[in-house]
Amino acid sequence: MGAWRDMEKAVAQGKVRSIGLSNFESDRLEEVCEAAAIKPAALQVKCHPYYQQNDLKKRLAPYGTVIESWYPIGHGDAGLINEPVFTGLAKKYGKTNVQIILRWHIQAGNVIFPKSTNPQHIRDNFDIFDFALTAEEMDKIAALDCGKRFYHATLEEQERELAGPEDCIECGACTACCPEKIAVKDLVRELAMQQCQHRSRPAYVSALR
């Protein structure tokens, strides 16, 4: 709870407006939410039409916490995007399949942050507020929920990707190895591996700082 209390302090000090959780779906979720003086505004988790997180939503409802979807369009998975239900609705509303998916998220109460490097897609992704899916259409999309995920990293792989700073337990090389906090992870990793002769896992983790 220490980290959460510190984030609550940041709200009290006016440094941030809202605080939330990410990838925290364990059975300790309720423990944190109950103890929190400021309830999480959002819980960021994977969520898309194949993985709708309905059970998690029920757990969050008492705290007023909303789901913030990562992979909202299934990481761009063509099988998901081209589901016939989206193609049919896209024709009906004069929208793209992705716009239908994003509109479904909004009506399902999800916060979304689709990612795109394509300027037209970025414009399209904002252009979803001039139509509404009917209750029956929402039900059809709800029927796609099948527990399919698109992210399968092991816990160890996730730790390597997300871990915070840590020096090599042997030589401490990594505090010095990325003083400029180079943003490109692979470059930082390579640098750390060169500088830490022990090639230890902490050095690798440190490189992701």
Ligand X SMILES: NC(=O)c1ccc[n+]([C@@H]2O[C@H](COP(=O)([O-])OP(=O)(O)OC[C@H]3O[C@@H](n4cnc5c(N)ncnc54)[C@H](OP(=O)(O)O)[C@@H]3O)[C@@H](O)[C@H]2O)c1
Phi, psi of 11 (to 5 degrees): -65, -50
Question: x/- site string to ligand X, residues 78 to 107, per CB under 6 A?
Answer: ------------------x-x---------
Q: Is 47 in the site for ligand X (CB under 6 A)?
A: no
* Angle between helical axes of 97-107 and 135-142 (0-180°, round to 10): 100
Q: E strands, the chain, where?
A: 21-22, 42-46, 66-70, 111-112
Q: Is 197 in the site for ligand X (CB under 6 A)?
A: no
Pick from 24, 116, 165, 171: which binds ligand X (CB under 6 A)?
A: 116
Pick from 50, 71, 86, 104: which binds ligand X (CB under 6 A)?
A: 71
Q: Is 117 in the site for ligand X (CB under 6 A)?
A: yes
Q: Is 49 in the site for ligand X (CB under 6 A)?
A: no
Q: Is 124 in the site for ligand X (CB under 6 A)?
A: yes
Q: Is 51 helix (H, G, I), strand (E, B) or coil?
A: strand
Instruction: Report the nearest approach of ligand X to the CB of residue 32 (Å).
Output: 17
**Which is nearest to 133 in space by CA: 97, 103, 111, 90?**
103
d(CA 175, CA 124): 43
Beta bridge partners of 112: 69
Query: With respect to ligand X, which residue has the nearer C-beta, 113 or 190?
Result: 113
Pick from 39, 59, 121, 140: which binds ligand X (CB under 6 A)?
A: 121
